[in-house]
Amino acid sequence: MTPSQIDLVQSSFVKVAPIAETAASLFYERLFEIAPEVKPLFNRDMKEQGRKLMATLGLVINGLKNLDAILPAAKSLAAKHVSYGVRAEHYQPVGDALIWTLEKGLGSAFTSEVRDAWLAAYATLSGAMIAEAYGKAAA
């Protein structure tokens, strides 16, 4: 991830924050549509789950300029997700649902440059999380 990509991710996420509840709802609807096998992993109040998702995204995105500070928390979260039944292959539809949600939420502000920045950020974070939870070969 380049500094410019980090800036694009951070500035675009600021635009999503006002519609956080809607964005979270869109995200989970899309995730369950493209990966219905993950729906049973979510057996809690989805509004609360959505709030947690958006809060976690906010923390991670705000910390992108200091990856060394956020990667330990992301890796810990990945290990915790294993106990919920999350598998390495689930990260792809999660990323796809995230990008789709951002495209819907940002509209014309979701340029190809912004998309590429988000893809780079997701690849960096998910790669570290997958490597931590399932080994480097899985990443």
* pLDDT tens-digit series, residues 66-121: 999 999 988 888 988 998 899 999 999 999 999 999 999 999 999 999 999 999 99
Residue 43 pLDDT: 80
Domain around 23: 3-134
Q: What total number of domains does the chain contain?
A: 1
Helix (H) and strand (E) counts for the chain? 6, 0
By percentage, how much of the chain surpasses pLDDT 90?
A: 80
pTM: 0.92
**83 within some domain:** yes
Residue 37 sits in a domain whose CATH number is 1.10.490.10
Residue 139 pLDDT: 55
**139 within some domain:** no
C-alpha–C-alpha distance, residues 1 and 134, integer Å: 23
* pLDDT tens-digit series, residues 28-57: 999 999 999 999 999 888 999 999 999 999
